């Protein structure tokens, strides 16, 4: 028994850019610029933790919990309206083919996403049947780099952690995989994701990865 656990944003679907644009819009309203380099720190991180980082970038301190909740809700509102028309064209290249290939090869598949919209997005894209288990931000308490999101997926699949491979585009996600004793394939920049057992530049590279010898 073996499994592959997928992050969602920036791995299965191109929604990482909408998270970024929604934070950028919020930052602008708060009076500062938020750029792609800052955004790297938000990848894989929960909504509230992301807000804390955004406020830190803007040098803003002292907001009450109530105010922070309002800002996080506002960002989520922007995000949800940006993804309202999300469709299959935003599924990242090669992902459906890779899912098909690994399932045929006997791997169980799971989603392991910090996003509370994770399940809803899979439904919207018609990808639900390709996943045996879906763990999203509604089911976990501790954000990546804590391994909870991945260990929960493995537990639900009934597969030992050592037999799981995680696919991630975030540094926090690579750390979470390793904290859960799982191997990891990074999607993106090797300078950022270098701790992963293998890094490919984009999802198109997944088909070429030798999964049995990571
Ligand atoms: C992660 C994204 O998958 O989910 C983060 O990489 C995002 O950018 C996080 O903040 C939480 O998502 P949501 O949809 O619950 O705000
Ligand atoms: Mg991601």
- Ligand 1 center–CA 52 separation, angstroms: 13
**pLDDT for the residue 204:** 98
- Ligand 2 center–CA 42 separation, angstroms: 9
Does residue 24's CB lie within 6 angstroms of at least one atom of ligand 1? Answer: no
Is there a catalytic annotation at residue 9?
yes
Helix pair 47-57, 16-30: axis angle to 10 deg: 50
- The three-class DSSP label of residue 190 is helix
Q: What is the residue-level pLDDT of the chain in tens, covering all 214 positions?
A: 999 999 999 999 999 999 999 999 999 999 999 999 999 999 989 999 999 999 999 999 999 999 999 999 999 999 999 999 999 999 999 999 999 999 999 999 999 999 999 999 999 999 999 999 999 999 999 989 999 999 999 999 999 999 999 999 999 999 999 999 999 999 999 999 999 999 999 999 999 999 999 9
Does residue 39's CB lie within 6 angstroms of at least one atom of ligand 1? Answer: no
Q: Which atom of ligand 1 is nearest to the CA of 43?
A: 6
**pLDDT for the residue 145:** 95
Q: Which of 155, 143, 109 is nearest to 12 (CA)?
A: 109
Q: How many secondary structure helices (H) and strands (E) does the chain include?
A: 9, 6
**pLDDT for the residue 174:** 98
Does residue 144's CB lie within 6 angstroms of at least one atom of ligand 1? Answer: no
User: Among 9, 73, 132, 169, which one carries the catalytic annotation?
Assistant: 9
- For ligand 1, atom 8, the nearest C-alpha belongs to 43
**pLDDT for the residue 73:** 98
Pocket test for ligand 1, best of 5, 50, 135 (most atoms within 8 A of CB): 50
**pLDDT for the residue 63:** 97
**pLDDT for the residue 131:** 98
Q: State the Cα torsion 190-193-194-198 to the nearest 10°.
A: -80
Q: How many CA atoms lie within 13 A of 96 on its CB side?
A: 10
The rounded Cα 40 to chain-centroid distance in angstroms is 12
- Ligand 1 center–CA 122 separation, angstroms: 14
**pLDDT for the residue 65:** 97
**pLDDT for the residue 190:** 97
């Amino acid at each position: 028994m073996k499994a592959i656990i997928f992050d969602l944003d920036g791995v299965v679907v191109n929604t990482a850019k909408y998270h970024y644009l929604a934070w950028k819009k919020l930052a602008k309203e708060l009076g500062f610029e938020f750029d792609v380099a800052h955004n790297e720190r938000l990848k894989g991180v929960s909504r509230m933790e992301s807000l804390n980082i955004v406020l830190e970038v803007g040098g803003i301190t002292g907001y009450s919990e109530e105010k922070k909740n309002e800002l996080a809700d506002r960002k989520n509102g922007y995000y949800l309206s940006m993804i309202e028309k999300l469709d299959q064209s935003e599924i990242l290249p090669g992902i459906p083919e890779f899912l098909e290939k690994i399932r045929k090869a006997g791997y169980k598949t799971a989603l392991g996403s910090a996003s509370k919209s994770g399940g809803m997005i899979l439904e919207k894209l018609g990808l639900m049947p390709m996943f045996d288990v879906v763990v999203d931000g509604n089911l976990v308490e501790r954000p990546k780099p804590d391994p909870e999101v991945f260990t929960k997926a493995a537990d639900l699949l009934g597969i030992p952690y050592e037999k799981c491979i995680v696919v991630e585009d975030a540094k926090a996600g690579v750390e979470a995989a390793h904290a859960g004793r799982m191997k990891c394939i990074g999607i993106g920049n090797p300078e950022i994701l270098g701790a992963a057992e293998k890094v490919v530049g984009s999802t198109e590279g997944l088909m070429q990865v030798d999964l049995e010898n990571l």
